Structure 1
Amino acid sequence: MKLDQRVTLKQLRALLAVADTGSFTMAARHLHITQPAVSMQIRDLEAAVGGVLVDGRREVRLTASGEIMVRRAREVVHALEMAGHELLTARGVAAGTIDMVVITTAEYFVPRLLAEFGRRYPDIRIRLSVANRAEVYQMLDERRAALAIMGTPPGRLPLKVIPFAPHRLSFVASPDHHLAGKTHIPPAALAEERLLLRERGSGTRDHLERYLKYHGVRPLRADELGSNSTLKQAAMAGLGVAFLSHHVFEMEEAAGRLVRLDVTGTPVEREWNVIVRVDQQVSPAVQTLVDFLQDDGVKLMHAKPAQNVK
């Protein structure tokens, strides 16, 4: 089966778009072509392969053959992108496209970093996704992201972990909470509080559960509210105590709408890491971003954001 003589790059891009979006309609939007054109590319690719790659046209599922083709298609597209990056680098131009993903907490500072990065390297384009930790793992596993910003990386993947900034997490509550203003609050005091939790799979939730387990605390009540934004709003409204990254609540604290509780053992100190796969060649554009984060990430993260609290 001489696929190299029968398969086109357009067909591979159509297959990847369908696999990544889970929809022919969304794939068409992503590729800026019509849905019938996407369907035609998939049909032609299936004819070249001699088997079904996508099972169903409404609820899209890849067949076993489809999974193989998607994996290899990513390698082909990545290799061509790398060739383009290397040609530009040979001409002394820092250019290319970076597919990166960050965990939800990082969305509070990453745009600030990318704004400065974009000013310095205008020919490097960023495609940014924001996801919880489990979804970040999946994107790295499927090679849909060349770089990730997160805390603790997955252990099952071949990854290079590059720390670039400290990450602190603390308990916060409304200014009129009965623990506000108190010092050296024992962790046991949290057992009587209503704790507000992120969803399972989030790094913040894992850090909180490890803290509570270490200190032997079993909260009387814990409510899962999901997003960082919802937790902030709930804490400000007096619903309970939230455990959040300092990046998430720094503006609300400065505005006097949230206070950090002086609970013993906090802030919990972690690190922000840049994550890349060791078994995937790093493009010059990605390396430029990694170097930028290591050199200037901390300084830019500590720059005061605009006071626009919602």
Structure 2
Amino acid sequence: MNYTLHQLHVFFKIAQTQSITRAANELHLSQPAVSIQLKNFQDQFDIPLTEIISRRIYLTDFGREIAQAAENILNEAQVLNHKTLAYKGLLYGKLKVSVVSTGKYVMPYFLSGFMAQHEGIELVMDVTNRQKVVDSLTRNEVDFSLVSILPHQLQVNQLELMPNKLYLVGNGMSETGQQGTDPDLLKKLPLIYRESGSGTRSTMERFIADHQLEVLKRLELTSNEAVKQAVLAGLGYSIMPLIGLKNELLNKDLKIIPISGLPLKTSWMLIWHKEKQLSPIAQAYLSYIEENKARIIHQHFDWYDRF
């Protein structure tokens, strides 16, 4: 037999996901590439590894045994890599981070330099809504989380990365019919909300409640990107974090609607559970951020103060 570690990895991912499409997405490969690797791997066995039933892929009994063997081999290969790096005095292992969805515009820039310095570190980053980020921290599933609102139900340590500003925005052609900045303007505008559990939604609802406004809720969408596209299409207005609007504002596809009390200001914060014992990788990352934060902000977010 002449199978490769890459073929084992592809087959094991298919076994995990029970889907060539999902396996391709998780491996960042095309569907045809995954299908070819599966076929090349299967050709080395006289017994079928998979079968298709009602257009779904299933492992045969033999396939499940091979998947288990593949997992063991891949784990052993990873151990060999780690031992090599450790012998050279390098860090190895996983850095696990959970990020609120809008934080995807922030966190990669605070990770890229660190990852480039440490080839033995594997990054696992989950981008989701605030409630799920807090849940992952509570269950000790991650080293760090990126949030803009501190979870009051947990005792956490925190490191502020940069400001977070939220503005009312409409598309570039929108006319509010009013020159003033009274928050009452929100009563007349169709508003687009994030889903329950979102930090952006929580901040937006607090502003509306503080001003005792009765507003028209037009849509509820499950990602900041979806809200942005809906605003661009003219479906309504939303209070949104500035961090994800750079290109649209500079190109005048979106515009900020001036409202008294806006922007709402919070901070992007890296947090970790107070009782967590940080791994050597997590400690190294924390030191990297403390030393490089100012440089990263200057290099990647110099546009932020224009608005």
Q: What TM-score does the superposition give when structure 1 sets the normalisation length?
A: 0.67
In 2, distance between residues paired with 1:112 and 1:276?
19
- Pick aligned residue for 1:109 from 106, 117, 132: 106
Structure 1 residues 250 and 95, CA gap change in structure 2 (3 angstroms): same
Percent of pairs identical after alignment? 24
Q: How far apart are the structure 1 equivalents of 2:241 and 2:170?
A: 13
Structure 1 residues 1-48: Cα deviation after superposition (integer angstroms, max 9, x where no partner) = xxxxxxxxxxxxxxxxxxxx9xx8449989xx987349989xxxxxxx
| Shift in alpha-carbon separation, 1:37–1:294, aligned structure 2, 3 A | farther
Tell me if 1:143 matches 2:171.
no
Q: Which runs of 5+ in 2 are unaligned?
A: 1-12, 27-48, 50-58, 70-78, 302-307
- CA-CA distance at 1:245 after TM superposition: 0.8
Displacement of 1:237 in angstroms is: 1.5
Which of the residues 243, 261, 266 maps onto 1:265? 261
State the superposition RMSD in angstroms.
Answer: 3.6
Q: Shift of the alpha carbon at 1:252?
A: 0.8
Amino acid at match of 1:217: L
Q: Distance in 2 between matches of 1:197 and 1:303?
A: 32
Q: What is the match of residue 209 of structure 2? A: 213
Moved more, 195-204 or 260-269: 260-269
The 2-side partners of 1:294 and 1:169 are apart by 25
Q: Which of 290, 293, 296 pairs up with 2:292?
A: 296
Does residue 168 of the first structure (1) align with residue 196 of the second (2)? no
The amino acid of 2:64's aligned partner reads P
SS of residue in 1 equivalent to 2:165: strand
Could you say if the C-alpha distance between residues 297 and 245 of structure 1 is closer, same or farther in structure 2, counting changes exceeding 3 Å? farther
Deviation at 1:160, TM superposition (A): 1.5
Equivalence map 1:1-310=2 (5 Å): 25-26=16-17, 36-37=64-65, 88=86, 92-179=89-176, 182=179, 185-297=181-293, 299-301=295-297, 303-304=299-300
- Gaps spanning 5+ residues in structure 1: where? 1-20, 42-80, 306-310
CA distance in 2, matches of 1:299, 1:288: 17
Distance 1:256-1:143 versus aligned 2 partners, 3 A rule: same
| Superposition misfits of 4+ residues, deviation over 6 angstroms | 27-30, 38-41
Give the residue type in structure 1 aligned to 2:174: H
Q: Secondary structure at the match of 2:245?
A: helix
Q: TM-score, normalised by structure 2?
A: 0.68
SS where residue 93 of structure 1 aligns?
coil
